[in-house]
Structure 1
Amino acid sequence: MKTILVVDDEPRTREGIRKSLEAWAAGRYKIITAESGVEALKWLEANAASLLITDIRMPEMGGLDLVERVKAMEHPPVVIIISGHPEFDYAQKALQFGVLEYLLKPLDKTKLVQAVELALKREENIHRVERMERLVDPKLMETVRQGKPYGAQVHEAIQFLDNHLHEPVSMRDIADHLHMNASYFSVLFKEQTGLTFSEYLTRRRVQRAKELLSGTRQTIAEISDQVGYQTAKYFVKVFRSIEGMSPGQYRKSIAHSEETIQ
């Protein structure tokens, strides 16, 4: 269950927000409160929150100081600032810290709920992007970011590979498919992608394996077969050389991130 942390040194405001959000959430979210920035920071150091709603003026540690500290965390929550004063400087600094919304007291319940719904959608999008970044191979992405479009032959070769990752495809197989000399194809592929054919194929297979590890419950042996390796033992060796961990460890790390980021 996702958590929303409400921070305000005024008991009436703090409890008012909590009750309003609990009525709106109807058990879908856990609403936690803290009466100071110091208490909130201590809680966040040991727990995860999807959304932080904090007053801007509080003793000991103000809302902006809290946000600045929280932003340095590995998975910071999305932030909504509330204030009894429409100070331009505060609002400007809040935006610089990436604060999603700046709400003025007295709080309108409808606007509060709208801001919370928007913030939680933002958090989901951030989570989705982080998850996709963990799936994508940076070197494969770099071949796309170079900005140079692939020639027709290399483009066709990549499409052929994607459709035959489950088979023991060789560079000669691709060259024959394209009716090209294997040596010429090798040079052309490296020139346009920045990777040798062998490295590209290995990284593409590992990336596909990561997608299957995170999105299915198939066994390591089944995934090994689907990405073109004849033995699971060799697949594990190749996967570890690219990712620095075994397929099983990768799957556990993905499952853990699903539990903790949210």
Structure 2
Amino acid sequence: MKTILIVDDEPRTRQGIRKTLEAWSLGRYRIETASSGVEALAWLKENEANLLITDIRMPEIGGLDLVETLSGMPHPPVVVVISGYPEFDYAHKALQLGVVEYLLKPIDKSKLVQAIERALKRQEELHRIERMEKLVDPKLIEAGEQELKHGTFVREAIRYLDEHLAEPVSLREVADRLHLNASYFSVLFKEQTGLTFSDYLTRRRVQRAKELLAGTRLPIQEIAERVGYQSAKYFAKVFRSLESVSPGQYRQNLADSEEKIQ
């Protein structure tokens, strides 16, 4: 269950927001409150919030200071700021800190609900982006960024590799298909992608394995075979060399992350 944390030093406002969101959520969300930034930080040390609703002006720790402090968290909540002061400086700093909505008091209930729905949608988008970043190999991203510099031979080689990841593929085989000398092709591939042929193929296979680990419940042995490894043991060794965890642990880490973020 996703959690919404409301932080406001005014009891009437705090409870009013809570009642509005409880009526809207119909039990779909856990609604928590804190009467100060200090109390909110203490709560967040032991719990996670998906969405933070905070007043700007509060004693000790103001709302924007609270948001700035939370920005260093592994999974900071998305933020909706509320304020009785329509000051440009506040709004500008809120935007700089990544606040997704800025509401002025007195708060219209319908506008509050709309803001919460937009903020939660944004949180889901950030979650999807975070999951994609965990799946993508930065070295492959770098190689892909060089795509405009790839000549016809290298583009054709990459296309062939992507279509035959499950099969035994060698540099000489690909060079022969392109009617190139194997040594020349090896140098050409490294020049244009920044990776050796072997390193690219290994990383692309592990990349595909990560996608299968994240998106399916296929056994490790079957995933190994689908990305060109007949031995699950050897596949696990190669996977660990790049990801520092076994395929099984990688899948478990994704599952744990899913539970925490959702």
Q: Is TM > 0.5 for Structure 1 vs Structure 2?
A: yes
Distance 2:244 2:231 in 1: 19
SS at match of 2:150: coil
Task: Give, in angstroms, the shift of residue 101 of structure 1.
Answer: 1.5
In the alignment, is residue 225 of structure 1 matched against residue 222 of structure 2? no
1:42-191 correspondence to structure 2 within 5 Å: 42-146=42-146, 148-191=148-191
In the alignment, is residue 201 of structure 1 matched against residue 189 of structure 2? no
- AA aligned opposite 1:77: P
Deviations 1:27-85 (A, max 9, x none): 22211111111111111111111110001111222111211111121111111110112
TM-score normalised per structure 1: 0.96
Deviations 1:219-256 (A, max 9, x none): 11111111001101110111111111111111111111
Task: Give, in angstroms, the shift of residue 179 of structure 1.
Answer: 2.3
Distance 1:124 1:158 in 2: 33
Task: Give, in angstroms, the shift of residue 106 of structure 1.
Answer: 0.6
The residue aligned with 1:252 is: 252
Task: Give, in angstroms, the shift of residue 140 of structure 1.
Answer: 0.6
TM-score normalised per structure 2: 0.96
Task: Give, in angstroms, the shift of residue 154 of structure 1.
Answer: 1.0
Instruction: Show structure 1 runs of 4+ deviating over 2 A.
Output: 145-149
Task: Give, in angstroms, the shift of residue 177 of structure 1.
Answer: 2.0
Deviations 1:154-187 (A, max 9, x none): 1111111111101111111212222222222111
Distance 2:36 2:56 in 1: 11
Q: RMSD value over aligned CA atoms?
A: 1.2
For structure 2, the 5+ residue unaligned runs are none
In the alignment, is residue 38 of structure 1 matched against residue 35 of structure 2? no
SS at match of 2:70: helix
Task: Give, in angstroms, the shift of residue 147 of structure 1.
Answer: 6.2
